[in-house]
Chain A
Amino acid sequence: GAVVSQHPSWVICKSGTSVKIECRSLDFQATTMFWYRQFPKQSLMLMATSNEGSKATYEQGVEKDKFLINHASLTLSTLTVTSAHPEDSSFYICSARGGEANSPLHFGNGTRLTVT
């Protein structure tokens, strides 16, 4: 099955620094990847849709200058949390779709970000 790898699995950073999270599709090419955020005991909240070679589409209320997304290749998308603050602490999960138009989404294992 389709495998999505996310790195790092957890990170602790100081307030004001930036953190980059990588999402890779290991055995398929993903023209579209999605970034989600999940708070404890809550469901996934879509942050943005990342398209290879073009600008990401952000959901309402998500600051694009705060959460920089780069989808430079068909197998890699990155999310950079800039000038992180404690309220950015959360579980970030990426997902990608396989090659066919109607194929389901597969998720990475998430990155737990803690900003101190």
Chain B
Amino acid sequence: SQTIHQWPATLVQPVGSPLSLECTVEGTSNPNLYWYRQAAGRGLQLLFYSVGIGQISSEVPQNLSASRPQDRQFILSSKKLLLSDSGFYLCAWGSTEAFFGQGTRLTVV
């Protein structure tokens, strides 16, 4: 069966520091992969999606970037975090139906 791993679960980072959140999927090949940010009262905001290795589409211009170095690996990064980057980040895979990771609570201080 397919599983999705996302880590870390929580992260506290100072303003200006770099960020790297990793997501890996097992049990499927060439999945569509997504990074979402979940904000209270605003649902899920799609940040990036990828349909294949090295193929990244950005939905919202911001301080973040994404990469897909391997078929089942999706990384969310930032060179310099802002306070406004604090939030809950979710990785997901799927096509018509999405399967989510456990999420990462990022607090930028």
Is B one of A's binding partners?
no
